[in-house]
Chains A and B, each alone.
Chain A
């Protein structure tokens, strides 16, 4: 498993490139690669901007029926999300964007798990399976 820091805009670009290579190497289609990299871009930006920096981990996983997937972990120790349901609503925004980052990222992957506690940081884990 590879861990990548997210402390700058350059790091966000590096995470995107790393996820792209991992997805391509594991046989995800071009559309699925693009969806996963786009979701990774949204989540890495959230880690940087809202989580005040953190890290991403990239892992290759295998399902019971033999499908290969890419699992991504985004973690920060920022202020956390007080209302997760609200944060996942289309159009809800902290004021700087369209409010599609988190909800959009969730639509682009197959599995999505968000855990957060105010003051204790946020963790998002997503999986995209090859078809």
Chain B
């Protein structure tokens, strides 16, 4: 099973998903992020899904769960870089990703997490 790396940049944990996500990989990411949040006290999680070709109901639910877990650690999650085709498909699938903020790209996501907008 592949793992998604988590980078700490200042007060923010940065995750860029560059692989084809398996269910196990997403569950592992969720656990790794919870550990990192607890260990670092980071106040934000930025998840870049520019390279993600599909978000199905399982991956979508895990992204929502990551948002909920982060909040318990007093951190906010911002999802950035969603492809237009993924956004259309997610909506048709019936997923709203409630509780997770989104931004167009990593730069705007960072501004959001740093309270500049």
CB < 8 Å neighbour of A38 from B22, B25, B93:
B93
Interface SS, A side: helix
Is B111 among interface residues, defined by CB-CB distance under 8 A?
no
Encode contact with A along B63-102: 1 for CB under 8 Å, 0 otherwise.
Answer: 0000000000000000000011110110011110000000
Q: In the complex, how many angstroms separate the beta carbon of B95 from the nearest chain A beta carbon?
A: 7
Given A20-B53, A30-B85, verify A108-B20 contact (CB < 8 Å).
no
Interface residue count on the A side (C-beta < 8 Å): 26
A120–B67 Cα distance when bound, in Å, is: 40
Contact A45 B53 (CB under 8 A): no
* Minimum CB–CB distance for A45 against chain B, Å: 6
Chain A residues near B22: list those with CB within 8 A: 9-10, 12-13
Contact status of A100 and B54, CB under 8 A, knowing A9-B24, A16-B20, A17-B20: no
